[in-house]
Amino acid sequence: MEMLPLGMVHETTLAQASAAEWESYAGTVPPVCAGAVRGSGGGPGRKMSGPGSMASGAAGSAEGPVDGARAPEQALFPPGFSVSEIKNKQRRHFMFLRWKQQQRKEKLANKKKRRKEREALGDKAPPKPVPKTIENQRVYDETTVDPNDEEVAFDESTDEFAPYFNRQTVPKILITTSDRPRGRTVRFCEQLSTIIPNSHVYYRRGLALKRIIPQCISRDFTDLIVINEDRKIPNGLVLSHLPDGPTAHFRMSSVRLRKEIKRKGKEPTEHQPEVILNNFTTRLGHSIGRMFASLFPHDPQFIGRQVATFHNQRDYIFFRFHRYIFKSEKKVGIQELGPRFTLKLRSLQKGTFDSKFGEYEWIHKHREMDTSRRKFHL
């Protein structure tokens, strides 16, 4: 029994089609189909003969006019054609790229057609359809906060952050690290202290957090930030509100220092920045947002034109620090000053840090909570 080359399996399959069927497709098969059959097996120049051959119909459209008519420029693939049937790897990849190019052209043509129809209809044009995203298809959360809810307003007026929002306390932050921090973590803490006003950086020197917290309370610190590292890279952040808590533990990723940011602006000034908290909609999200807000003073100095942003998207909290620039009366530009990082909430604990006997309000359990991509907790 004679062994066929790899590409011959595809050729014989196509050759089994009836002659009348392929004659109807002779003017629509793109020239690349002829090349696919000629190069799919047996070496260059090999060509199937006979009325049922795909190559003969395609060659007629590529090399010369068929019945006196020129083949269309945007030729279509025949119905039922599958690129996966081509056994030659290089030819299959080439045909796939051509198919993607054809799909892209059709998409652009349909888009132009719809735009012309909308321009022709004018004000009578139907509204544009809203694209489906994970955010607008989010599973409804019962704890979503209503701004007019009296119960939520009462709880927030009596929680641990009420003295700050009532202007009874002034933020004073202590920033420290895990034991024996490396250079990258130390530089990150120093740059973080330039963003948060009235913040101080101290090194642990082997002290446990249970011993550090009473000293912070006695020195009127309102918050404690601990930066943890693994393999010389910052990978965790513990934020504890003093003196009564709560304490939040975050996983930190995508840390970029100032020198690692492209097109960064000049060094930030000592002006108090504005704070933007975006998309914290649930009761848990409100608690986390109020915790971040309590790190900064109430009255920002707008002359500095500096903004600290905490943007929550799909339970990931993105931090950015910008300076905005007025280019004209209508145009405004922004410069990122850095650093930047991303946080993911792991747990929220009542009171100050206590790893053994602490009571947790919320713990992220991966197998139980991450059952749907459209369910978020913040």
Q: What is the pLDDT of residue 138?
A: 87
**What's the DSSP call for residue 71?**
P
Task: Say how far apart CA 64 and CA 153 lie, in whole Å.
Answer: 79
Q: Report whether 99 contacts 77 (CB < 8 A).
A: yes
- Calpha distance 208→235 (Å, rounded): 19
CA-closest candidate to residue 33, choices 50, 18, 47: 47
Angstrom distance (rounded) from CA 41 to CA 10? 9
Q: Please provide the DSSP assignment of 191-204 as one string.
A: HHHHHSTTEEE---
Residue 315's identity, in one-letter code, is: D
268: number of Cβ within 10 Å:
19
Specify burial of residue 165 (Cβ count, 10 A radius: 0-12, 13-18, 19+): middle
pLDDT tens track for 154-193:
888 889 999 999 999 999 999 999 888 888 999 999 999 9
Task: Provide the residue-wise pLDDT of the chain in tens; the chain has 378 residues.
Answer: 444 444 444 444 444 444 444 444 444 444 444 444 444 444 444 444 443 433 334 444 444 444 444 544 445 566 777 888 888 999 999 999 998 999 999 999 999 998 898 888 888 888 888 888 888 888 888 888 887 888 888 888 889 999 999 999 999 999 999 888 888 999 999 999 999 999 999 988 888 888 999 999 999 999 999 999 998 899 999 999 999 889 999 999 999 999 999 888 888 999 999 999 999 999 999 999 999 999 999 999 999 999 999 999 999 999 999 999 898 888 999 999 989 999 999 999 998 888 778 889 999 988 888 888 888 998
On whether the CB atoms of residues 325 and 332 are closer than 8 A, the answer is: yes
Instruction: List, in order, residues 6 or more apart from 221 with CB less than 8 Å away.
Output: 172, 173, 174, 242
Considering the entire predicted model, what is its pTM?
0.69
Element (H, E) at 151: helix 150-157
CA angle 229, 235, 238 (to 5 degrees): 85
Put residue 148 in one of left, alpha, beta given phi > 0 → left and psi -120 to 50 → alpha. alpha
Rg (CA), the chain: 32
> What is the spatial distance between Cα 96 and Cα 75, in angstroms, rounded to a whole number?
15
What's the pLDDT score for residue 263?
83
Angle between helices 54-63 and 8-15 (to 10 degrees): 90
